[in-house]
Amino acid sequence: MTSLIFSVLLSTLLFVIFKLFAKYNINVLQAIVVNYIVACVFGLILYPESYSISDIPARPWFMGAFLLGFLFISVFNIMAATSQKNGLSVASVAGKMSVVIPIIFGVIIYSEQLGIIKIAGIILALIAVYLVSVKEGGIHIKKNQLIYPVLLFLGSGIIDTSLKYFETNYVGKNEIPLFSATIFAFAAIAGIIILAYKVFVKNELITLKNILGGICLGIFNYYSIYYLIKALRSDSLNSAAVFTINNVAIVMLTTIVGILLFREKLIPKNWVGIFIAVISIVLVAFS
């Protein structure tokens, strides 16, 4: 449970950092690329055993890390496109509702038992995500732009499901830092390719504040993934509980932080959503 709490808190800090990016006009793509490089370095430094970079491709989880790395950067860009085309509320709902994908995977593949109370908690969690995320006027999606939230939903769900699959079947007890570092390395490579195009073709300038923002983001991002993977190894919570609590708690905490630090205004539905989120966490955690 401690690892899950750390993962939620660190993911909430990522939200604060992104809000500060907007305030100080930091280029998000540049910061994201630096973030992945920093997160990769952290993983390599914190790996407790001796290793050789040339030996990493022989690890049984290597192809999984390769796919996840490119998924990370792809889903990030899809999230940005969804926010621009459909609004932040749609992006938030699509990203967090994707929790149903790893839950279904866990039940089918690993025969995880849910129980009536836990199922009720998961359903309440999905309702809470919607209510907390919805803004004045509701959530509206144009038919010709439906592809963006659908891809975000699928991409986010596949990432969580893949993390669970490779962590369970291929990642050794002490390999979480190295596995995480390899994921971030491939995400960084994909990001560098995109950034190189913008720099050399679009004449975009790389600035110091973007690099510093990326360094700060990378430290917290690494540990958020590290503790999420550790939480998935918990003996007290199955993956359905971990993903449900993680997603709904992040939505709830980021909303509260938005009120306290950024003076964001909530409508009555948001407050109801926060209340339901608390109930859902209690039901899922202690069922």
The DSSP string of 193-262 is HHHHHHHHTS-PPP-HHHHHHHHHHHHHHHHHHHHHHHHTT-SSS-HHHHHHHHHHHHHHHHHHHHHHHH
Whole-number pLDDT of residue 49? 86
- Please count the CA atoms within 13 angstroms of the CA of 241 that sit on its side-chain side: 24
Among the listed residues 157, 152, 89, 98, the one whose alpha carbon sits nearest the alpha carbon of residue 122: 98
Q: Tell me how far apart the alpha carbons of residues 33 and 239 are, in angstroms, rounded to a whole number.
A: 29
| Cα–Cα distance measured from residue 112 to residue 274, given in angstroms and rounded to the nearest whole number | 27
Q: How far apart are CA 254 and CA 21, in angstroms?
A: 15
Angle between helices 88-97 and 115-133 (to 10 degrees): 170
Taking only the tens of pLDDT, the chain with its 287 residues reads: 899 999 999 998 988 888 888 889 999 899 999 999 999 999 999 888 888 888 899 999 999 999 999 999 899 888 878 877 777 677 888 888 899 999 999 888 888 888 899 999 999 999 999 888 887 766 666 677 789 889 999 999 999 999 999 988 999 888 999 999 999 999 999 999 999 999 999 899 999 999 999 999 999 999 999 999 999 988 788 898 999 999 899 888 988 888 888 888 888 988 999 999 999 999 998 87
Residues in the chain: 287
Determine the structural domain holding residue 157 and report its residue range: 2-286
* Cβ-proximal residues to 224 (8 Å cutoff; 6+ apart), any chain: 7, 10, 11, 13, 14
Full-model pTM: 0.88
Number of H helices, E strands in the chain: 11, 0
All residues at 6 or more sequence positions from 287 whose CB lies less than 8 Å from its CB, including other chains: 115, 117, 118, 121
* Structural domains of the chain, count: 1
Contact present, 100 and 244 (Cβ < 8 Å): no
Dist. CA 118–CA 122, nearest whole Å: 6
Torsion of CA 18, 144, 160, 13, to 10 degrees: 10
**Tokens coding 231:** 């939480």
Tokens describing residue 140:
């509206």
Contact 136, 267 (CB under 8 A): yes
